[in-house]
Amino acid sequence: MVLESTVVCVDNSEYMRNGDFIPTRLQAQQDAVDLVCHSKTSSNAENNVGLITLSSHPEVLVTLTSDIGRLMSKLHQVQPKGDADFITGIKIAWLALKNRQGKNHKMRIVAFVGSPLYKVGEQELIDLAKSLRKANVNVDIVNFGEEEENTKKLSSFINAINNRNGTGSHLFSVPPGTNLHDALISSALIQGEDGSGAGGASRFEFGVDPSEDPELALALRISIEEQRMRMEEQARRENQEGEEASRNQDGAPKAE
Over the range 32-68, which residues count as b (16 or more CB within 10 Å of their CB) and which as e? Answer: bbbbbbbbbbbbeeebbbbbbbbbeebebbbbbeeeb
Task: Tell me the chain's radius of gyration from C-alpha atoms.
Answer: 19
From first to last of its 256 residues, the chain has per-residue pLDDT tens of 689 999 999 999 999 999 999 999 999 999 999 999 999 998 899 999 999 999 989 999 999 999 999 999 999 999 999 999 999 999 999 999 999 998 999 999 999 999 999 999 999 999 999 999 999 999 999 999 999 999 999 999 999 999 977 889 999 999 998 999 999 988 999 887 655 554 443 345 555 556 666 766 666 667 666 766 776 777 777 778 877 777 777 665 555 5
CATH class of residue range 4-203: alpha beta
- The domains of the chain are located at 4-203, 208-251
Taking the CA atoms of residue 76, residue 102, residue 96 and residue 110 in that order, the dihedral angle to the nearest 10 degrees is -60
pTM above 0.75, yes or no: yes
Residue among 239, 14, 33, 7 at smallest CA distance from 142: 33
